[in-house]
Chain A
Amino acid sequence: MNETTPGKHVGNLASDYVLGLLGPEQKRTVSRHIRECVNCRQLVSAEKRIGLLVRSTIEATGPGQAQLSSLMPESPASRPGWFSSVTIRQQVAIASIILVTFFAGFNLLSRQEIGGFSAPMSTAYVATASHTHTPTSVTSSPTPILRTSEIAALTISSSSLNQPLITPAPRPVDAR
Chain B
Amino acid sequence: MSASEALVSTSQAKLDYWVEQCLAGEESAYVEVYNQYAGVIYRLCFSLLRHKEDAEEVLQDTFEYAFRKLHNFDPTRASLKTWLYQIAVSRCRNKRRRKWLQTTAISTFAREQVVDEGAISPDDAITLTERQLLVWNALGDLSPKLRETAILRYYDGLTYAQIGEVLKIPSKTAESRMRLAHKALKIQLTEDISSSSDS
Residues of A within 8 A of B (CB): 15-16, 18-21, 46-47, 49-51, 53-63, 65, 68-69, 71-78, 81, 84
By a CB distance below 8 angstroms, the chain A residues around B150 are 54
Binary interface profile of B, 37-64, with partner A (CB < 8 Å = 1, else 0)? 0110011001100000000100111011
Q: A58 touching B193 by the CB < 8 A rule? A: no
The minimal Cβ–Cβ distance linking B56 to chain A, given in whole angstroms, is 6
Count of chain A to chain B residue pairs whose CB atoms are closer than 8 Å in the complex: 119
A-B residue pairs, 7 tightest by C-beta: A75-B30, A73-B64, A54-B154, A57-B132, A77-B27, A57-B135, A51-B154
Residues of B within 8 A of A (CB): 22, 25-27, 29-31, 34-35, 38-39, 42-43, 46-47, 56, 59-61, 63-64, 67-68, 70, 124, 127-129, 131-132, 135-136, 139, 150-151, 153-155, 159-160, 175, 178-179, 182-183, 185-186, 189, 192-193, 196-197
Known pairs A57-B132, A57-B136; A68 contacts B42 (CB<8 A): yes
The minimal Cβ–Cβ distance linking B39 to chain A, given in whole angstroms, is 6
By a CB distance below 8 angstroms, the chain A residues around B183 are 15
By a CB distance below 8 angstroms, the chain B residues around A18 are 182
Of the candidates B35, B60, B68, B129, the one whose C-beta lies within 8 Å of that of A76 is B68
By a CB distance below 8 angstroms, the chain B residues around A65 are 35
Q: B179 touching A76 by the CB < 8 A rule? A: no
Can you report 5 A-B residue pairs in the complex whose CB atoms are below 8 A from each other? A46-B197, A49-B193, A61-B124, A75-B30, A77-B22
By a CB distance below 8 angstroms, the chain B residues around A72 are 31, 34, 38, 60, 63
The minimal Cβ–Cβ distance linking B24 to chain A, given in whole angstroms, is 9
The minimal Cβ–Cβ distance linking B138 to chain A, given in whole angstroms, is 8
Q: A61 touching B179 by the CB < 8 A rule? A: no
Q: Considering the chains assembled together, what is the distance between the CA atoms of A90 and B150 in angstroms?
A: 42
Q: B185 touching A73 by the CB < 8 A rule? A: no
The minimal Cβ–Cβ distance linking B85 to chain A, given in whole angstroms, is 14
Q: Considering the chains assembled together, what is the distance between the CA atoms of A60 and B155 in angstroms?
A: 11
Q: B56 touching A81 by the CB < 8 A rule? A: no
Q: B128 touching A60 by the CB < 8 A rule? A: yes
